[in-house]
Amino acid sequence: MLFRFVYSLLLFIIAPFFLYKLYKTKTNKPKFGKRWQEHFGLTPILSSTSKPIWIHTVSVGEVIAATPLIKSLKQRYPNKTVVVTTTTSTGAVEVEKMGSLVEHRYMPLDFSCSIKRFIKIINPTALLIIETELWPNTLHYCKKNNIPVTVINARLSEKSSRNYEKFSSLFHAMANNIDLILCQATEDAERFIALGVETQKVKVTGSIKFDISIPIEILQAGQDLRDQIGNQRPVWIAASTHKGEDEIIIAAHKQLLMSYPDALLILVPRHPERFLMVEKLCLEKGFSTVNRTSQANILASTEIYIGNTMGEMLTLIKASDICFMGGSLIGDKVGGHNLLEPAALARACLIGPSYFNFQKITEALVANGACRVCFTAEEIATDLKQLFADKNMLNMMAEAALQIVNKNKGAIQATINELEL
């Protein structure tokens, strides 16, 4: 009780800063509008009167990972209502793509009054948390209202485990309110158990992110884009780049153009508010640049194509030969992004040295010859030149990437088999 009081007090102090960042107007960022009230538990009632399955995701990445699981759940439980909560507005836009399959609500802040109000209105039959988004008051009131909580696709890095050890009483209090933890890997399960989680609560079901099924319309859209670009041109994509990485990527592309003057870089910033500034950077550096929303033709002279749309990453990767994954060149700030989407599209992968958020996946791809780690712009350019010069090597990396994905599928079915809804 004492720790929740202290925690709630700290949350009250930092909440204004969190909300300011969340609501701050940014270019291309979807607005919350009047729905800001939902962050305080003032959530609209659901269209269905049946008790729903509540699935919590944070933002776009978690929603994308959870989508195949949600579709499988609806096949298993067609009469069950599913409500998906996100914290961010970009996550909400991604949920909307599922249409009538689910209902979306914003996740309330973890204040007792907000959570109690939300639970009373939604009245869920169970809470499924994607990955490890654990909120003490949410877990407490779910337990108090007999709402079973399952953490799905759970991962716990060594760094996070050490941090939890420093606040063991807080972690134990949260863990006591969790009914089941379904882990991505044995290492994750061992770390949860080492922190004191009861062994019978922890199971390994694999990563649901491997269960990727690329819709045929996306494959066709990617091919259509590639036809427009030119099937004989060397094309690479830098996906989900962060501030500080674009300059490195552009420098690598400049070196590539010296050997392959017709090469095209598809540059996709991670955050929509950065679309315009990245395009300006490319133009200032003297590159012939167009963006996707302008619908301008990609000419033979076009050197950089800015992917300034949301939800089209798979299409853009499909139109490329090689994928460099961002969030991996700026020290320990981000920890990389998921390489499984380019792998599922059979694309050779490159990544920077900081990929701790997806360490196991990245290391598996590297070990299988599907991915290379690059530390500098020079190394990125060298690998690009080598792969564009050696089509056999490029194809071998692509096939190895797809092989890793296919080998590890099945986590969604294993997860659903463990759920009692």
Instruction: Please report the pLDDT score of residue 157 as a whole number.
Output: 83
Q: Quick one: CA dihedral 158, 163, 169, 172, positive or negative? A: negative
> Would the pTM of this model clear 0.85, i.e. be above it?
no
**Residue 172, class by beta-carbon neighbours within 10 Å (0-12 exposed, 13-18 middle, 19+ buried)?**
middle
Instruction: Please report the pLDDT score of residue 286 as a whole number.
Output: 97
Token representation of residue 265:
């870089």
Instruction: Please report the pLDDT score of residue 213 as a whole number.
Output: 83
Q: Which residue ranges form the domains of the chain, and what is each CATH number? A: 29-211+409-418 (3.40.50.11720), 216-407 (3.40.50.2000)
Instruction: Please report the pLDDT score of residue 209 as a whole number.
Output: 87
Catalytic residues: 62
Q: Give the angle 12-14-16 at the CA atoms, nearest 5°.
A: 85
Instruction: Please report the pLDDT score of residue 1 as a whole number.
Output: 66
Instruction: Please report the pLDDT score of residue 301 as a whole number.
Output: 96
Token representation of residue 114:
């907000």
Residues in the chain where the model's pLDDT stays below 70: 1
Task: Report helix, strand or coil for 130.
Answer: strand
Residues in contact with 207: Cβ distance below 8 Å, sequence separation at least 6, in sequence order: 153, 155, 184, 185, 361, 408, 411
